[in-house]
Amino acid sequence: MAMLFTSCNLKSNVDNIQIQKIVVKVGVSYKIDLEKETYTVYFRDGSFYEAKFTLSNKDKSDISKISKECGLNKLKGNINVEDNCQISPKVYTELSFYAGSNNVLVSIDAACDNHPFFKQGEPQRILRFLKFLNEKIFSKPEVSKAPKTDIRYM
């Protein structure tokens, strides 16, 4: 009886894990740092442009809610999401964050939505979170007015 209670309690603890220090890097083009509330664009000559944006309490709440809906709080360690896309070159998006005390780094080709059948759920949830986050951040005037990178992938 105690084992059952403990296992149920552990599940509820996983559901309560907070996602913190979210950083998204898209290839070598740009980076979003939610903790610092910065959007950084990189250029071929090695220079960069940094835009500061502000997340409202509602923004933070929405991001927290969608991160839990997408199951980010259950991820651990380094995750390299495999796909079946043959595009080249692959431009990986890196999503890093802390889930409780776990440091998580996810590497995914966000331009590809063709994943092995047995792994369809996890990549789709990660892509859903990234799409939501990009829409939220790129709607900020400071970010939408930032210069575009001159880095091209061939």
Instruction: Answer yes or no: is 50 within a domain.
Output: yes
Enclosing domain of residue 108: 19-144
In a domain, 29, yes or no: yes
The CATH number of whichever domain residue 60 belongs to comes to 3.30.1560
Q: Is the peptide bond before 123 cis (omega within 30 degrees of 0)?
A: no
In a domain, 60, yes or no: yes
- Residue 2 domain-assigned (yes or no): no
10 inside domain: no
Q: Which two tokens stand for residue 69?
A: 């809906």
Segment-wise mean pLDDT, segments of 10 residues, the chain, 154 residues: 41 69 94 97 96 96 94 91 83 92 91 73 90 97 94 75
Cα distances from 121 to residues 11, 81, 118, 126, 141, in angstroms, run 19, 11, 8, 9, 33
Alpha carbon distance 117, 57 (integer Å): 37
Give the position of tokens 């509602």: 58
| Interatomic CA distance for residues 24 and 27, integer angstroms | 10
In this structure, is residue 149 part of a structural domain?
Answer: no
Does residue 138 sit within a domain? yes
pTM of the model as a whole: 0.84
Instruction: With respect to residue 90, please indicate whether it lies within any of the assigned structural domains.
Output: yes
Question: Which H, E and C letters describe the chain, residue by residue?
Answer: CHHHHHHHHHHHHHHCCCEEEEEEEECCCEEEECCCCEEEEECCCCCEEEEECCCCHHHHHHHHHHHHHCCHHHCCEEEECCCCCCCCCCCCEEEEEEECCEEEEEEECCCCCCCCHHHCHHHHHHHHHHHHHHHHHHCCHHHHCCCCCCCCCC
Spatial separation of the C-alpha atoms in residues 8 and 70, rounded to whole Å: 21
Q: Count the domains in the chain.
A: 1
Query: Residue 94 in contact with residue 105, Cβ under 8 Å?
Result: yes
Task: Give CA–CA dist 151/124, Å, rounded.
Answer: 27
